[in-house]
Chain A
């Protein structure tokens, strides 16, 4: 007994206790549901069998039914489009801002922090604000677009099937750009300053220095940031709920919203689980890329 107590206060026991409870908790509340999800996707689930574990096993029926539905492929396409457009927007604008603030003029560091506001606000509130900004007849975005001559008439961002997805993309880019900018700033400041001085003495102008020094040195940061961007974009739900609810007519529906919709609006839990499984495979892939891109340091 004494050995156990001494291990708890002085030895490995302490570490094990500290790590066992949280990991146990996570396993219970995140790991098990994951496994449960996979199991459920192979079962037939309805409102009544919600309470029991043993439900009829139907093999791949849910998946087959899923892909037989007409809206499946368009929604998957939307998801891909949403992800690519969001990441492109967030990354490019974020990189531009990071480079701008990197010149480190007085006041740069606290001004830079202000932008993070978009990231800490609740997604739903961001969605509500953009919903109003994107209003067809009364939204201020349309007003500004018309005043500057970019468009002639009002764009009905939320109700026009051609634009509905882009409405959410716009809001998502606004939400995530600042976080990208901060991460990219970290990457940029990791490049030793004298490399740029050496390149400058070697004759490189600003553009050449960017291409031959900055970008290559940031390669692993960029990989990590894009992987992270993929993960966060696939998590984005609140904006859809606040702006378009996936409509009109599934034109702005994406896989993560649809999975929820199938389970909680249409009560088709099995199909919801099936989509989740497919999505989770993608997300896992992205996270492997992320983990490999980040190098871990030893404790200082």
Chain B
């Protein structure tokens, strides 16, 4: 279990702005790590610092065991796939691929052979003589990846590579990128703002906000046990519902406040009575019943159906989003009943947002 990339206490300042705050991150060789977070959280800055395109102001960064402070990008032996692909427009696909080899002095014939091999694995063999402007978005993406592959680098860095593609292509390329990673046994760091990409592609997900790592772990860990309200609301789509609540005197239930409705909700572990908290429930965890059964009775505001799923928004304050698979008989204006398993109620501190400890 070798550590391929290690960051210890990494800080980055842009003048007065503290972009990265004490980042500690260990990435094992062969893993696919996703860096997710909202705009401005520092994920791109972190990636670019790994590449050497930005300099860190404090901390240590090691790639394959070597300390990378003051090592310029061209000596780090990492490859990056840019958001805009950054293909050299004045070179053919083949020249784009062989560029890094020719720069290091490898003979043209050898370089071309390597390019042909890589092109075969990424399906670009027919396109070697074309120029980037003649290619489609998906093809350019594959050229960008091939350019990285041919270098056999210590790590692959991806900077939101799929955000310029349309939805259908994105789904397809997600699988291709992950398949490539597996085939090559590579170590990949993948930056995205799309949590679905992170959840489906990564072995290890790192959620960032405001320059800090909020939580990291396996995708389903983050889904099941978010460490704080931010991660809980960021992971999972549609987003988790948050309801203000207070812990009841018995310590085993909450009074949740839905505007005009107050309701008792069972939880599965004791909490200090009287504490102000936020209850978090995922839309898919509500069980819809008729109005008579069910713990809650809530009026329905909007019903949206995509054919494969139905999204219901309730007329409460705060409003709740529920999702059911398939068709539903619910109409807007009706009152429905909701039920929830206590194990699926997340409780967060109302002020700090941290999950109130369990076990």
Q: Spell out A's residues near B (CB within 8 Å).
A: 192, 194-195, 197-205, 208, 212-213, 216-217, 219
Q: Are B90 and A204 in contact (CB under 8 A)?
A: no
In the assembled complex, which residues on chain A have CB atoms less than 8 Å from the CB atom of B72?
Answer: 200
Q: Are A192 and B84 in contact (CB under 8 A)?
A: yes
Q: Are A203 and B103 in contact (CB under 8 A)?
A: yes
Interface of A is mostly: helix
Q: Spell out B's residues near A (CB within 8 Å).
A: 51-53, 72-76, 78-80, 82, 84, 86, 88-90, 99-100, 103-104, 147, 151
In the assembled complex, which residues on chain B have CB atoms less than 8 Å from the CB atom of A194?
Answer: 82, 84, 86
With beta carbons under 8 angstroms apart, the residue of A192, A199, A217, A219 that contacts B99 is: A199
Q: Are B53 and A197 in contact (CB under 8 A)?
A: yes
Q: Are A198 and B86 in contact (CB under 8 A)?
A: yes
For the complex, give the distance between the alpha carbons of A217 and B91 in Å: 10
In the assembled complex, which residues on chain A have CB atoms less than 8 Å from the CB atom of B80?
Answer: 197-198, 201
In the assembled complex, which residues on chain A have CB atoms less than 8 Å from the CB atom of B73?
Answer: 197, 200-201
In the assembled complex, which residues on chain A have CB atoms less than 8 Å from the CB atom of B103?
Answer: 199, 202-204, 208, 212
Q: Are B82 and A203 in contact (CB under 8 A)?
A: no
For the complex, give the distance between the alpha carbons of A219 and B100 in Å: 22
For the complex, give the distance between the alpha carbons of A217 and B90 in Å: 7
With beta carbons under 8 angstroms apart, the residue of B86, B88, B104 that contacts A203 is: B104
Q: A197-B73, A198-B147 are in contact. List 11 more A-B contacts (CB 8 A).
A: A195-B88, A197-B82, A199-B88, A200-B74, A201-B74, A202-B74, A202-B151, A203-B75, A203-B104, A204-B103, A213-B88
With beta carbons under 8 angstroms apart, the residue of B74, B79, B84 that contacts A205 is: B74
Q: Which residue of B lies closest to A198 (CB)?
A: B86
Chain A proximity of B291: nearest CB distance (Å) = 57
Q: Are B79 and A201 in contact (CB under 8 A)?
A: yes
In the assembled complex, which residues on chain B have CB atoms less than 8 Å from the CB atom of A199?
Answer: 88, 99, 103
16 residue pairs bridging A and B, Cβ less than 8 Å apart: A194-B84, A195-B88, A197-B80, A198-B80, A198-B86, A199-B103, A200-B53, A200-B73, A201-B52, A201-B78, A201-B79, A202-B100, A202-B151, A203-B74, A204-B103, A216-B90
Q: Are B90 and A203 in contact (CB under 8 A)?
A: no
With beta carbons under 8 angstroms apart, the residue of B52, B53, B89, B99 that contacts A202 is: B99
Q: Are B74 and A192 in contact (CB under 8 A)?
A: no
Q: Are B86 and A197 in contact (CB under 8 A)?
A: yes
Chain B proximity of A206: nearest CB distance (Å) = 10
For the complex, give the distance between the alpha carbons of A212 and B100 in Å: 11
Closest 5 pairs between A and B when the two form their complex, measured CB to CB: A202-B100, A198-B86, A194-B86, A203-B74, A216-B90
For the complex, give the distance between the alpha carbons of A216 and B52 in Å: 25
Q: Which residue of B lies closest to A205 (CB)?
A: B74
For the complex, give the distance between the alpha carbons of A219 and B82 in Å: 25
Chain B proximity of A290: nearest CB distance (Å) = 21
With beta carbons under 8 angstroms apart, the residue of A197, A203, A205, A217 that contacts B100 is: A203
Q: Which residue of B lies closest to A195 (CB)?
A: B86
For the complex, give the distance between the alpha carbons of A199 and B82 in Å: 12
In the assembled complex, which residues on chain A have CB atoms less than 8 Å from the CB atom of B74?
Answer: 200-205
Chain B proximity of A151: nearest CB distance (Å) = 43
Question: Known interface pairs A200-B73, A203-B74. Does A192 touch B88 (Cβ–Cβ under 8 Å)?
Answer: no
Chain B proximity of A173: nearest CB distance (Å) = 30
Most chain B C-beta atoms within 10 Å of own C-beta, residue among A192, A203, A205, A208: A203
For the complex, give the distance between the alpha carbons of A195 and B53 in Å: 12
In the assembled complex, which residues on chain A have CB atoms less than 8 Å from the CB atom of B84?
Answer: 192, 194
Chain A proximity of B83: nearest CB distance (Å) = 8
Chain A proximity of B64: nearest CB distance (Å) = 16
For the complex, give the distance between the alpha carbons of A195 and B90 in Å: 11
With beta carbons under 8 angstroms apart, the residue of B79, B99, B151 that contacts A212 is: B99
